[in-house]
């Protein structure tokens, strides 16, 4: 490639960086041969420069969240995770009832052989507009407090998914250790919609400090990693399982904590997964809700969490 072509290409990429959304920004940066350690700060800086006042508002509006003292810093800075006991977040009952119904409906339509993959998304952001009860739970003061304190500003809802994992024998994709390569930090919640034991394939992770130790010793972390490779640098007993009774939850930073899930060898799993990112995350939210005009009309905090204002 000659100098003129290279310059023209770089110009196109830079123009795209200045106008694109978070996902495009990352992909264009990668096309320039810039990896995520460099691309993310560039993408965040571009987002900031495009609207510094909005960025400042996401930070300062943390004070709008009603905080409960027992939840302060629940997602621990050093280890990147925290545990939520059943009954902590109001409004979970209708969510549990809905997820169980969706799972039962799905099960009826399932073809045993053809659908042998290990994870089924029975609820996704497109369902939110018809299920305000889920949105109210997800945008509760409790979740906003936990995610907001950890992320340092009003958190932006990235996605909400209901996952049903039937019993399986596979070990592929997200059933292998990996890191979510979407930002430097994240608040990802898992709530059990049914009692969940180890044999039901819970989300399983290494605390952030142990993950850092392991990742520093691996040649390339942007990949799926076999257990044997990980356990050369830590102990299997360092792995924490997000299991427990119905209504129990975990919040984990999937960008800092090596994790896998869905190894449901002798049971199954029904969970609600909710992920929040920073306003300046390189990724835009996958949630594209158009709330009814009456929803959150006088609630700037929740509108910000939905990236509407």
Ligand X SMILES: O=C(O)CCC(=O)C(=O)O
Nearer to ligand X, 65 or 283 (CB): 283
In angstroms, what is the minimal distance from the CB of 204 to ligand X? 8
Which residues make Cβ contacts (< 8 Å) with residue 1, sequence separation at least 6?
Answer: 9
Cα distances (Å, whole numbers) of residue 227 to 9, 205, 207, 232: 41, 12, 15, 9
Nearer CB in complex with ligand X: 22/166: 166
Write down the least CB distance from residue 276 to ligand X, Å: 13
Q: Tell the smallest beta-carbon distance from residue 264 to ligand X (Å).
A: 9
Question: In whole angstroms, how close is the CB of 200 to ligand X at the nearest point?
Answer: 11
**In the complex, what is the shortest distance from the CB of residue 61 to ligand X, in angstroms, rounded to a whole number?**
27
Shortest reach from residue 251's CB to ligand X, in Å: 12
Q: What does residue 266 show for φ and ψ, rounded to 5 degrees? A: -150, 45
Instruction: Name which of 23 and 57 has its Cβ closer to ligand X.
Output: 23
Q: How many angstroms separate the CA atoms of 124 and 165, rounded?
A: 15
Query: Residue 185, Cα to own-chain centre: how many angstroms?
Result: 9
Task: Name the residue nearer to ligand X (CB basis): 102 or 119.
Answer: 119
Q: Which is nearer to ligand X, 40 or 260 (CB)?
A: 260
Q: Measuring CA to CA, how many Å separate 47 from each of 58, 119, 286, 304?
A: 13, 34, 17, 16
Which residues have CB under 8 Å from 179's CB, separation 6+?
A: 211, 215, 221, 222, 254, 255, 256, 257, 258, 259
Distance CA 271, CA 192 (A): 5
When CB distances to ligand X are compared, the closest residue is 261
Q: Which two tokens stand for residue 103?
A: 């799972």
Task: State which residue, 40 or 58, has the beta carbon closest to ligand X.
Answer: 40
* Smallest distance from ligand X to CB 69, Å: 30
CA dist 263 and 269 (Å) reads 10
Q: Which CB atom, from 188 or from 302, has the smaller least distance to ligand X?
A: 188
CB of 6 to ligand X, least distance (A): 36
Note the residues at the interface with ligand X (CB under 6 A).
119, 174, 180, 203, 254, 259-262
Q: Which is nearer to ligand X, 40 or 163 (CB)?
A: 163
């Amino acid at each position: 490639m000659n100098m003129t072509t290279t310059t023209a290409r770089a110009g196109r990429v830079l123009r795209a960086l200045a106008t694109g959304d978070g996902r495009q920004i990352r992909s264009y940066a990668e096309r320039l041969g810039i990896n995520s350690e460099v691309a993310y700060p560039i993408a965040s800086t571009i987002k900031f420069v495009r609207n510094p006042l909005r960025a400042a508002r996401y930070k300062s509006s943390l004070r709008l969240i009603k905080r409960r003292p027992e939840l302060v810093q629940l997602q621990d800075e050093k280890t990147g995770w925290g545990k939520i006991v059943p009954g902590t977040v109001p409004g979970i009952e209708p969510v549990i009832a809905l997820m169980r119904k969706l799972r039962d409906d799905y099960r009826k339509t399932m073809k045993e052989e053809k659908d042998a993959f290990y994870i089924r998304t029975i609820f996704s952001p497109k369902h939110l507009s018809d299920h305000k009860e889920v949105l109210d739970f997800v945008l509760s003061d409790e979740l906003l407090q936990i995610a907001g304190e950890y992320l340092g500003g009003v958190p932006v809802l990235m996605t909400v998914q209901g996952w049903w994992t039937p019993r399986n024998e596979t070990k592929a994709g997200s059933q292998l250790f990996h890191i979510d390569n979407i930002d430097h930090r994240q608040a990802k919640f898992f709530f059990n919609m049914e009692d969940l034991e180890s044999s039901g394939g819970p989300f399983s992770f290494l605390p952030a400090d142990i993950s850092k130790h392991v990742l520093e010793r691996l040649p390339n972390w942007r990949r799926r990693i076999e257990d044997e490779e990980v356990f050369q640098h830590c102990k299997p007993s360092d792995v924490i399982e997000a299991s427990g009774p119905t209504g129990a939850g975990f919040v984990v930073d999937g960008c800092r904590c090596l994790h896998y899930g869905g190894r449901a060898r002798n049971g199954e799993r029904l969970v609600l997964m909710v992920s929040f990112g920073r306003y300046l995350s390189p990724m835009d939210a996958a949630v594209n809700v158009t709330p009814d005009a009456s929803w959150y009309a006088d609630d700037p905090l929740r509108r910000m969490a939905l990236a509407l204002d």
